A and B are shown apart, each in its own frame.
Chain A
Amino acid sequence: MKVTRREFLNYCTGSAAALGLAGTLLPLQRALAASSGPPIIWIKGASCTGCTVSLANRISSSAPVDLADLLIHTIDLVYHPTLMGGAGDAAVQSLLNAAAGKFILAVEGGIPTIYNGKTCTIYTQNGVDITALAAVQVLAPKAAAVLSIGTCASYGGMSAASPNPTQIKSLSAATGVPTINIPGCPPHPDWIVWTIAQLLSGVTPALDSSGRPTALFGQTVHSQCSRKSAAWATSLASTALCNGNIGCKGRNTHADCPTRLWNNEMNWCVGTVSSNGNGADSLCQGCTESGFPDKFSPLFSTAGAPPHSSKSIKPSCSTCHTSGRPG
């Protein structure tokens, strides 16, 4: 009977946990992943590198614990222009070698289409400038899985904001290939790592109607926020209040930021109310949603996330959020 790697890992996890040996599984999982996972080609389209910087902020008590662990033990990242050792022809050769076999494609950044894509050329091959558009149109159909890293690749994002000067398209729109979207401006490193780990263990995560893993993007920011029952703030930096009436888009934004927190649980865009302070006391701007930023602009208005009520005083939540009505 053929045992899948996942079954084997689950068996090992169960046994080890029963024996109190969970910690010793780390090398096993790492070995399995590193030896048999397909290489990852990471292309940058019209981007700001924020997604890569965020990935580099990965920290966790479970493997991969950080970026170094991820790159050395978990994934085979053969092409990434910001991180890779090789340059020029040597870098291009690494990409071509991987593209000849089984690979995972990850793209950070939107895909400009104006001028046949010439506002973003990403490498030279045989003396010819290769656009991001041409590269992804070749690579995406061939990839074992295609990941849109960040909101720009997932939906167009900031570089596609009106009037979309370079006619940027999302990765899936530019290639016609369905993508697993890991949005965020930037995305949380855990979202990227979790999704890749699923793929490496042979699992394609369930996706919502925006192509995002439901396990990560199933709930609204507002529903998990420590301020959701608080009264409305009338101006920014109002300690501990709910900013839903001055521009916070948490009601219409799906992400687990209030519970996962950012940067080693240091803080998040809105800020958790606690005895140690109220964090940033600022706004969620909906960066994981298709339509960001224009749907939510002006950013300091309720565009895209109007408060429930037209009343100037926020009604008590239990007025509407009875059983069966999330919030």
Chain B
Amino acid sequence: MAQITIVDPVTRIEGHMKVQVTIDTVGGKQQVTDAQCTGTQFRGFEKILVGRDTKDAPYITQRICGVCPVSHGTAASLAIEHAAGVTVPTNARILRNLTLGANFIQSHILHFYLLAALDYITPPASAPWTPVWNVDLMRSATLQQIGTNFTTAVTMRREAHEMAAIFAGRMPGLSAIQAGGFTTKPTSTMISTFSGYLNTLINFINNKYVPDVQVLANAYSDYRQIGKGPGNLIAFGVFDLSNGSNPSRLLKRGVVYSTNPTSVQTLSTAKITESVTNSWYDDTTNNLNPASGTTVTVDPATKANAYSWLKAPRYSNKACEAGPLARMWVNGDYRKGISVMDRHMARALETQKVANAMIGWLNQLTVGGSEYSTCIAPFNASGEGLTEAPRGALGHWMSTSPSTTVAPNGVASIKNYQVITPTCWNASPKDTAGVRGPMEQALIGTPVSVASQPIEVLRVVHSFDPCMSCAVHVMRPDGKPVTIIKGEPEF
């Protein structure tokens, strides 16, 4: 007999999310037979940005997410620089990589220990970690080591942010990343302090974090076969290793289809569309590309079949997963499988890869030198900034006003702005063809031992490291069509 369980709030994610699962017994096994993932918050950053000075975008878009502010600040800067036809000098590129890398380390450690681990281990005996659903916890005594490392992880992620702040100014809410470069002039003292932190973090990653993930994967080895999803992977690529508009990257850009998992397709953003059939937007704006489109919201009460403020991004009409697994797979560094445990392992190995690369980048920094020059986007221009947040591919698309519509200080203003975030890819609802989003697909077939306490559902959801504030959407509350705008609102 099928029953529906609603998990709301989904906790230990960034932001607000609700998951509704149908649980039934199929072939003698109680499991998830249907799933709906709902983004339950939005704020409307696209509307907030329209009419403002383009230079304000890196600062403002950081407030889309306090866990991945560096990524948003970077993407905004890249979009403005693209519109202005400039790229940043070497020191700025390296400083951005070091700051973003430090935040990747912070975010991944935060995710494994504070967000995901409590689905598997006995929690520390204190609120807020207690109480949990005491279902299928601590399968092996070897998991004690994860609990032992829990408070060390709290320290390590804090230190990763201190390391980032050496150049960034403050974490989160950094002041140093700007269109045109990076404001900080590195000194030898800053570099050696950064190096000290980096060594400590690499030690933790190598000796605690990666082994802890291995121990977890061994104790819960069935989760190598649970939570696959569509098996299509998308990565915009990140950590430029050279200057200019077509750099090599530490983690490459590309798309992998489940039908041909060892072949990497060249990314073309023209193939991205967003379905709103099951989202609270007007169907006349359905299946539009990020570079062109309109946004018309609807009162949720008037669209009964819709269930999320997230739209459904698709690439060549396929639901695609973004994240460390997608990046490491596209890069050829990890192709063991796609599952709950594969996501955790790929994330840990990516942390190791990025941290080690940072040693070399630090050595490439020039003390003093030029990191910033004022970057002003021209009128009637457009730019695209593609990068990666810790939890997956991130894109900002911006167009600027004609000279008749300037910002208050006389420069080109933002005409349209759009963001597509990784969690929008991952937690999307069904699209027009009825194809579920990656997380929804990953949930189907998940075994559930206690239907009212579906910890297995949390395990699948958490493996994606959802960041729901990023996935919020713009709206026009009065339901009237807005002026036709370029750019696909996504948040």
Q: Spell out A's residues near B (CB within 8 Å).
A: 39, 44, 46-54, 56-59, 66-68, 71-72, 76-92, 94, 112, 114-115, 118-124, 127, 129, 157-159, 161-163, 165-168, 185-186, 235-237, 239, 262-264, 266-271, 276-285, 287, 293, 297-301, 303
Contact present for B169 and A268 (CB under 8 Å): yes
18 other contacts beyond A53-B66, A91-B9, A163-B47, with CB at 8 A cut-off?
A49-B15, A54-B172, A67-B154, A83-B11, A85-B132, A87-B133, A88-B9, A119-B309, A120-B16, A120-B40, A157-B63, A161-B48, A185-B63, A237-B185, A270-B169, A277-B189, A280-B169, A298-B409
Q: How many A-B residue pairs have CB under 8 A?
A: 293
- Whether, in the assembled complex, B168 has its beta carbon less than 8 Å from a beta carbon of chain A, the answer is yes
Contacts of B114 in A (CB 8 A): 83
Beyond A87-B458, A166-B44, whether A276 also contacts B469 by CB under 8 A is no
On whether the beta carbons of A276 and B189 are closer than 8 Å, the reply is: yes
Q: In the assembled complex, how far is the CB of residue B251 from the closest CB belonging to chain A, in whole angstroms?
A: 23
Shortest C-beta distance, B199 to chain A (Å), equals 17
Residues of A within 8 A of B186 (CB): 277
Q: A120-B41, A280-B184 are in contact. Are A87 and B12 (CB under 8 A)?
A: yes
Taking CB atoms, residues of chain B closer than 8 Å to A300 are: 53, 55-56, 409
Q: For window 396-422 of chain B, which residues contact chain A by CB distance below 8 Å?
A: 407-409
User: Which chain B residues numbered 126 to 162 have a C-beta less than 8 Å away from chain A?
Assistant: 126-133, 151, 154-155, 157-158, 161-162
Tell me what chain B mostly uses at the interface: helix, strand, loop, or mixed: loop
The reply to whether A167 and B477 contact each other, CB–CB distance below 8 Å, is yes
B123 lies within 8 A of chain A by Cβ = yes
Cβ–Cβ contact A285 & B59, under 8 A: yes
From A51, A91, A282, name the one whose CB has the most chain B CB atoms within 10 angstroms: A282
Q: Tell me the bound Cα distance from A271 to B187 in angstroms.
A: 13
Q: B residues 290-311 with Cβ under 8 Å of A?
A: 299-300, 309
Would you call B34 an interface residue if the criterion is a C-beta within 8 Å of the partner chain's C-beta atoms?
Answer: no
Tell me what chain A mostly uses at the interface: helix, strand, loop, or mixed. Answer: loop
A239 to B183, CA, bound (A): 9
A2 to B190, CA, bound (A): 53
Note all chain B residues with C-beta closer than 8 A to A94: 127, 131
Task: Give the distance to chain A from B166, nearest Cβ to Cβ, in Å.
Answer: 6
**B interface residues (Cβ-Cβ under 8 A, vs A):** 5-16, 18, 40-44, 47-48, 52-53, 55-56, 59-60, 63-67, 69, 110, 114-115, 118, 123-124, 126-133, 151, 154-155, 157-158, 161-162, 164-176, 178, 181, 183-187, 189-190, 193, 299-300, 309, 371-372, 374, 407-409, 452-453, 458, 469, 474-477
State which of B12, B162, B371, B477 has its C-beta within 8 Å of the C-beta of A165: B477
Q: What residue of chain B has the Cβ atom nearest to residue A167's Cβ?
A: B477
Q: Measured between alpha carbons, how far is A220 from B268 in the docked complex, in Å?
A: 49
On whether the beta carbons of B129 and A53 are closer than 8 Å, the reply is no
* One of A44, A77, A163, A282 near B183 (C-beta < 8 A): A282
CB distance from A302 to the nearest CB of B (A): 10
Per the bound structure, the CA–CA distance linking A92 and B452 in Å amounts to 14
What residues of chain A lie closer than 8 Å to B174, measured between beta carbons?
280
Considering the chains assembled together, what is the distance between the CA atoms of A89 and B300 in angstroms? 24
Given contacts A57-B161, A165-B44, A298-B53, contact A87 B11 (CB under 8 A): yes
A50-B172, A122-B9, A123-B8 as given contacts; A266 in contact with B16, CB under 8 Å: no
Q: Given A57-B171, A87-B133, A236-B372, is A50 in contact with B409 using a C-beta cutoff of 8 Å?
A: no
Q: Which residues of A contact B185 (CB under 8 A)?
A: 237, 239, 277-278, 281
Question: How far is it, in angstroms, between the C-alpha of A91 and the C-alpha of B42 when the chains are bound?
Answer: 22
Set A39, A118, A267, A299: member contacting B170, Cβ < 8 A? A267
| CB neighbours of B151 from chain A (8 A) | 68
Shortest CB–CB separation between residue A48 and chain B, in angstroms?
4
CB-defined A-B contacts under 8 Å, sample of 11: A46-B43, A48-B63, A79-B128, A84-B11, A159-B43, A163-B47, A262-B171, A267-B169, A280-B169, A282-B175, A299-B55
Which residues of B lie under 8 Å from residue A262 when comparing CB positions? 165, 169-171
**Which 6 residue pairs of A and B lie closest in terms of their CB atoms, listed nearest first?**
A50-B66, A165-B44, A280-B169, A263-B165, A282-B175, A277-B187
Q: For the complex, give the distance between the alpha carbons of A50 and B73 in Å.
A: 14
B171 adjacent to A115 (CB under 8 Å): no
Residues in B neighbouring A298, C-beta threshold 8 A:
52-53, 55-56, 407-409
A11 to B408, CA, bound (A): 58
> Given A82-B12, A87-B11, A237-B371, are A263 and B53 neighbors across the interface (CB < 8 Å)?
no
Find the A residue at minimum CB distance from B166. Answer: A266
Known: A85-B130, A90-B133. Contact between A269 and B169, CB under 8 A? yes
Q: How far is the CA of A165 from the CA of B482 in the complex (A)?
A: 12
A301 to B174, CA, bound (A): 18
Q: Which residues of B contact A120 (CB under 8 A)?
A: 16, 40-42
On whether the beta carbons of A166 and B475 are closer than 8 Å, the reply is: yes
